[in-house]
Amino acid sequence: MAETEARARPAARGSSLWLMIGPGLLLAATGVGGGDLATGSIVGSVLGTAVLWAVLVGALLKFVVTEGLTRWQLATGETLLEGAVSRIGPIVVWLFLPYLLLWSFFVGSAQMSATGVTLHAIAPVFDDARHGKIFFGVASGLVGLALVWLGGYRLFERIMRVCIAVMFVTVVMTAVFLWPGTLEVLEGIFVPRIPDFGGEGLTWTVALIGGVGGTLTVLCYGYWLREEGRTRPEDLRVCRIDLGTGYLMTALFGMAMVVVGSTIEVQGEGTALLVTLSDRLVEVLGPTGKWLFLVGTFGAVFSSLLGVWQSVPYLFADCWGLLRRKSGAAVTAVDTRALPYRAYLVVLAIVPMLGLFASFREIQKIYAVTGAVFFPLLALAVLVFNGRAAWVGERFRNRPLTVAALAGVLVFFTWLGIAGI
């Protein structure tokens, strides 16, 4: 099984950066989907490069929380979910499962819709774009299911690295071709300001900060660490480098889309906006620019779909194991070949297909709202759990600066959820 393979293979603890990074890149690729790219481009179109700093802030906030989850796991040997059950009780699972099921349906629908829209733009074999979205969405969901089912973690990791390379090169190259000027970009990164834009500048900036990276999928980073064999407290340095690299990639994607949006007027929403944007690129970069951008968009949306398909079943399988675990029994790693993981993988890939027949706008909206509700709870859990030296040890306990950062994450994302931005 995958866990046995991971334990048998020595963890990558060498000095090479390429050996250190891995799960962080998977997290970046999973968290950056069509919605994130669309948000970056529309905010760039509205506010220009003045808000590039906001992308970095958003990536930093996600890094703070994920680093806290990593410290907890390396200190205790438990994922946050396992630790919560051990210290609070099975009620945690019963409260988490309904949310997981709801989130899974909407994120699954959003991922297939985004991939379907993008593939229809690349290969418009249907006269009706809606039919193309449904056909390609279903096909992408089934392909993702087959890849995860048959290939396991190692094949998943290799495919994701290819997708990451494609999306990084193509999207960043598009931004370079449309480069508005080095001074303007540097000013947007290092001189924080929020253009007014009819009183809506703050709203757009906050949306950009909140839209960087994933939400529930950050919990899956711990399972990928187990697959890589990074389970010792001594692995914290490697994990921080890995996470830092992953979130830096996330920030670069986001900033590239802001740059693209700042030079091309964009209209619409969701992945359909990116397709419209690719058509506009023909006027500036010619057909090559359009196809370059579409290929990068596909790399982003399909890698996000594949990442969700592979990672989210870990959460259900872990919940299943925790409910069946006898009191006092040791925590066991998730077996990706066992029924709980594979059954949820099938459910995740099949049931959300119903959402392809609904409005993509509504699917994306509900997906964003359910994610925004969860993240403040995650920040609160990291604050509390890592705040006790008796649980994590003095070395891994939250420091004052970390407490301040986590408190800021908690306040920001709570307000984001309440305001519905």
Interval 306-337: pLDDT, tens: 999 999 999 999 999 999 887 666 677 889 99
Average pLDDT of the residues in 78-103: 91
Interval 186-237: pLDDT, tens: 999 999 998 887 777 888 888 788 777 777 889 999 999 999 999 999 999 9
Distances (CA, A) of 13 to 18, 20, 21, 233: 11, 6, 10, 12
List, in order, residues 6 or more apart from 255 with CB less than 8 Å away. Answer: 40, 52, 55, 56, 175, 189
Mean predicted lDDT score pLDDT of the chain: 85
Interval 12-35: pLDDT, tens: 444 455 556 689 989 988 988 777
Output the pLDDT for position 6.
43
Is the pLDDT at 161 greater than 50, yes or no? yes
pLDDT grade for 8, boundaries at 50, 70 and 90: very low
Sign of CA dihedral 160, 361, 109, 84: positive
Output the pLDDT for position 292.
87
Output the pLDDT for position 94.
94
- The CATH fold assigned to 2-358 is Hydantoin permease (1.10.4160)
Least confident of 192-206, 334-348, 376-390: 192-206
Cα–Cα nearest to 361, from 369, 371, 351, 372: 369
Output the pLDDT for position 317.
96
Average pLDDT of the residues in 112-131: 88
Average pLDDT of the residues in 242-266: 89
Q: Are 194 and 202 in contact (CB under 8 A)?
A: yes
- In the three-class reduction of DSSP (H, G, I as helix; E, B as strand; rest coil), residue 388 is classed as coil
Strands (E), 122-274: none
Output the pLDDT for position 206.
82
Q: Pinpoint the alpha helices (H) of 9-90.
A: 17-20, 23-31, 34-47, 52-76, 80-88
Residue 214: phi and psi, rounded to 5, are -90, -175
Output the pLDDT for position 356.
86
Is the pLDDT at 353 greater than 90, yes or no? yes
- Which residue pairs, CB below 8 angstroms and at least 24 apart, start in 274-280? 274/34, 274/37, 274/38, 274/41, 274/118, 275/117, 275/118, 275/121, 277/41, 278/121
Is the pLDDT at 284 greater than 50, yes or no? yes
Q: Domain limits of the chain?
A: 2-358
Is the pLDDT at 367 greater than 60, yes or no? no
- In the three-class reduction of DSSP (H, G, I as helix; E, B as strand; rest coil), residue 191 is classed as coil
Cα–Cα nearest to 200, from 62, 60, 45: 45
Average pLDDT of the residues in 63-88: 94
E strand or H helix at 50, and its extent?
none
Report angle CA 369, 371, 375 to the nearest 5 degrees: 120
Q: Are 28 and 249 in contact (CB under 8 A)?
A: yes
Is the pLDDT at 282 greater than 90, yes or no? no
CA dihedral 246, 248, 249, 251 (to 10 degrees): 130
Distances (CA, A) of 216 to 52, 76, 102, 419: 25, 21, 12, 20
Residue 280's CB is within 10 A of a number of other CB atoms, namely 18
Claim: this prediction has a pTM higher than 0.75: yes
CA dihedral 263, 58, 237, 299 (to 10 degrees): -50
Is the pLDDT at 261 greater than 90, yes or no? no
Q: Are 22 and 6 in contact (CB under 8 A)?
A: no
Q: Are 163 and 303 in contact (CB under 8 A)?
A: yes
Q: Are 141 and 116 in contact (CB under 8 A)?
A: no
Cα–Cα nearest to 197, from 183, 210, 208: 208
Tokens at 132, concatenated:
């193309």
Residue 219's CB is within 10 A of a number of other CB atoms, namely 23
List, in order, residues 6 or more apart from 237 with CB less than 8 Å away. Answer: none
